[in-house]
A and B are shown apart, each in its own frame.
Chain A
Amino acid sequence: QVQLVESGGGVVQPGTSLRLSCAAAAITLRSYAMHWVRQAPGKGLEWVAVISDDGINKYYAGSVKGRFTISRDNSKNTVYLQMDSLSAEDTAVYYCAKDGVGVLGHFDSWGQGALVTVSS
């Protein structure tokens, strides 16, 4: 059973930074592309970013491009999301998800989510 565990969420002020982590158990992440998907309170799902299995290819949603950076450390079996210049619109539960087929496939395993609240 694949287990993805997000951490690093919390309450931050507008304009500051935060880094989320996604650690995996019962699976070796180095073989898979990984995504971040977020969900604002009471709203729908929004795809945020993806990183290929080797860390070379990265794609971002327009709403976060230039502010968020996805990365991975396969030696630690962990994926990261560095979030800079945060605003209230970034308040959401952030899920990491494993790609089931490639880089732009489907999300076949999800973490429990990490809540990020941006508020002054």
Chain B
Amino acid sequence: SYELTQPPSVSVSPGQTASIPCSGDKLNYKYTSWYQQKPGQSPVLVTYQDNKRPSGIPERFSGSSSGNTATLTISGTQAMDEADYYCQTWDSSAGVFGAGTKVTVL
């Protein structure tokens, strides 16, 4: 079955840039979405179709995809961005999530 691989954790200092990779076979031929989930809350869509941002999501969140890797970048990371982040795509009409990356703002 198709798999998406994310690092379990990423640490970043306030104001710096956090990059979260998500790798999967031929991922650049598929659309990737990213979701933010804070403890006790429902997930929130932060980017979709690789690099689009929903209304209401801050510009510091951006997505990209190249080769087998999609990347969520948080520029000028703030304390409020501390959360779990999940990438997601589709394979053979089945949804696939990465295992999630915990972003810690130190």
A binds B: yes
Q: Residues of A with Cβ closer than 8 Å to B?
A: 35, 37, 44-47, 50, 59-62, 95, 100-101, 104-108, 110-113
- Docked Cα-Cα span, A50 to B96, in Å, equals 13
Report the minimum CB–CB distance from B26 to chain A (whole Å).
16
| Chain B residues bordering chain A, tally (CB within 8 A) | 24
Given the interface pairs A95-B43, A108-B48, A110-B43, the reply to whether A45 lies near B54 with Cβ below 8 Å is no
- 8 Å CB contact of A45 from B31, B43, B49: B43
Q: Could you list some 16 contacts between A and B, CB below 8 A? A: A35-B95, A37-B95, A44-B100, A46-B97, A47-B96, A59-B94, A61-B95, A104-B95, A105-B31, A106-B33, A106-B48, A107-B35, A107-B45, A108-B54, A110-B42, A112-B42
Contact between chains at A95 and B97 (CB < 8 Å): no
Q: In chain B between 23 and 72, which residues have their CB closer than 8 angstroms to a CB of chain A? A: 31, 33, 35, 37, 42-45, 48-49, 54
In contact, B97 and A104 (Cβ under 8 angstroms): no
List the A side residues contacting B49 at CB < 8 Å. 101, 106
